Amino acid sequence: MATFKVKVVTYEELVLEQEADFVLVRTTEGDMGILPNHAPFIAGLSTGEMKIRLGEKEEKYFVSEGLLEISNNVVTIIATEAIPADQLDVERERREVERLKAKLAKLQEDKDILLTQKNLREALIKVHVAERML
């Protein structure tokens, strides 16, 4: 079975370095499957799931934006964040989703307030300009 080396690094650490026979990553252009002896290639990496397979064993990772390089049968992924799926805390991430949804709703309210304030200023100026014409 033909394989290739996969290296995943963040700006802080080497996350993994292992052999694989297939990698699936999300690039800025869409999902990309990589097999051994792939042509040289560079792409932007989008946030998504990465799968690394060697034989029957498959590992999954959360990978954030970064770069993907394929050269000389080595796939190098440089990501802002790379976390093995089994190290993700589902309940903590669900709480984070709810927190961010609430923050987004608050920001929307703030935007509505700012828009209303802008409209109020414009109306006051219109009143001022109109009164000067009397």
Residue 100 and residue 55 share a domain: no
pLDDT of residue 128: 66
110 sits in which H/E element: helix 90-132
Domains contained in the chain, number: 2
Q: What is the pLDDT of residues 80-130, one digit of tens each?
A: 999 998 888 888 888 888 888 888 777 777 777 777 777 677 766 677 666
Asked if 71 contacts 43 with a C-beta cutoff of 8 angstroms, the reply is no
Residues 83 and 93 in one domain: no
- The Cα–Cα gap between 50 and 110 comes to 37
Q: What is the rounded distance in angstroms from the CA atom of residue 130 to the CA atom of residue 39?
A: 70
Residues 50 and 70: their CA atoms lie apart, in Å, by 15
Neighbours of 49 (CB within 10 A): 13
Residues 24 and 76 in one domain: yes
